[in-house]
Amino acid sequence: MNSTFQKWLRPVLVIAAAIILLVVVVLTRSPDVSPAPEESLSTGENVEQTENPPGTVFPEMEIYAEYYGIPVDETLRRFEIQDAFAGLDTELSIKEPETFAGLYIQHEPEFRIVALFTRDGEAIMKPYIPDGMAEYVEVRTVEVSYRELQNAQSEVSSAISNQGIPADSYIDIKENNVKFNVVDLTPVNKAIDKGLLTVPDYVVFIEVEGLAQPD
């Protein structure tokens, strides 16, 4: 979902040396929005298949182990789990778009692959779980599918752009909503009051000091 698992564990762990990012979200400059699921996903931390020999220890693994207070062997086990789920977020977004709402990693208190669905999550998820990995999967029910979040992001981005309101937006998988950062909420509230902007309950505006700068 630049959309469920986008950069997965390894790149996140490098950043985690300073600040652990438990939710990876991709900021998109309004009116730009997240690409379609089949292009790229950002429902959390994307699983990437590694090509290194089993048991290889990387520096970021040691950082991760130290941060969470776990043995390096446990870190290796978690990397092996993430490899087993490589590409699952993309597959679910394509095959289960009506109910799939995202995928992310829970690091504490228990390491889990958390899958979000709007209904029937246990039954839908079961055939997608690799053999021997069921104990690491937790299915949760949320209100809004990822497709609906994407559509809302696109529609609201277009609407506020037409009103000349600059904003950054991203989909927050864990919170099951779309967040828009703006430097001033006043024009947003005025547009809503005048009926020029319709905002679903799962779209949230946040006033910030500054917006992300384009590369």
Amino acid letter, 49? Q
Residue-level pLDDT at 215: 64
How far apart CA 18 and CA 143 sit, in angstroms, is 33
Edge-first strand listing for the sheet containing 203-207: 28-29, 168-172, 177-182, 203-207
Sequence-distant (≥ 6) Cβ neighbours of residue 124 within 8 angstroms: 96, 99, 100, 117
Residue-level pLDDT at 9: 45
**Closest Cα partner for 41 from 75, 89, 82?**
89
Residue-level pLDDT at 59: 82
As averages over each run of 10 residues, the pLDDT of the chain (215 residues) reads 42 39 32 33 46 68 91 92 92 97 94 97 97 96 97 96 95 97 96 94 96 78
Residue-level pLDDT at 55: 61
